[in-house]
A = this chain, B = another copy of it.
């Protein structure tokens, strides 16, 4: 109670700023994912965030700053599923969980998925460093787990990186190519039935494809 009170009264200024920053970042994510960096106007974002262009620039010195902030903010979310991939439960359960998490991400953060996709397709000018360091190290660690399963004969022998690529590709596809999928099926992941069907198909094919037996 006391805590709640304090929170409600103690930091009015900070609160205002933080709320605005969140609104800006949300609006920016949508805009950048939809039109790319160059194709997005600052004013567009400002309008969506409910403030003036100049005020937005009070919080973020430049468009590029804002773009980087959006990428950074999404980075943890983006890397989280892979971080949680572990060996504890054996390949079937672990891979199933990983694929399901990735699909869940595609459902909940499709714009973030598209933002990263576009960024990478354009040569990852703002992200190459992360790819080469943080992601590379993370992947190296996870590869060990998969190689362990292969050595135990529980997975078909293959370079584990191709397995990762295939999981990324298939799960992200439902976010990145949602427009195409909707044109061909009339549905998207937000449709509960379609989501379940998708999960079953993707998990099914990949697990049958890699598990021995």
Task: List A residues at the B interface (Cβ < 8 Å).
Answer: 33-39, 114, 117-118, 120-124, 128, 131-132, 135-136, 139, 156, 158-159, 161-163, 165-166, 168-170, 172-174, 176-177, 179-181, 183-185, 197-198, 200-202, 204-210
Contacts and interface: CB of A to CB of B under 8 A. Distances in A.
Contacts of A38: 35-36, 38-39
B123 A179 contact: yes
A122 B34 CA distance: 5
A177 B205 CA distance: 22
Given A33-B121, A169-B177, 5 more contacts: A39-B122, A114-B121, A136-B184, A169-B173, A209-B209
Contacts of A208: 156, 208-210
A58 to B, nearest CB: 13
Contacts of A131: 179-180, 183-184
A179 B128 contact: yes
Q: Which 7 A-B pairs have the closest CB atoms?
A: A209-B209, A205-B209, A169-B173, A38-B39, A162-B201, A131-B183, A169-B169
Contacts of A139: 184
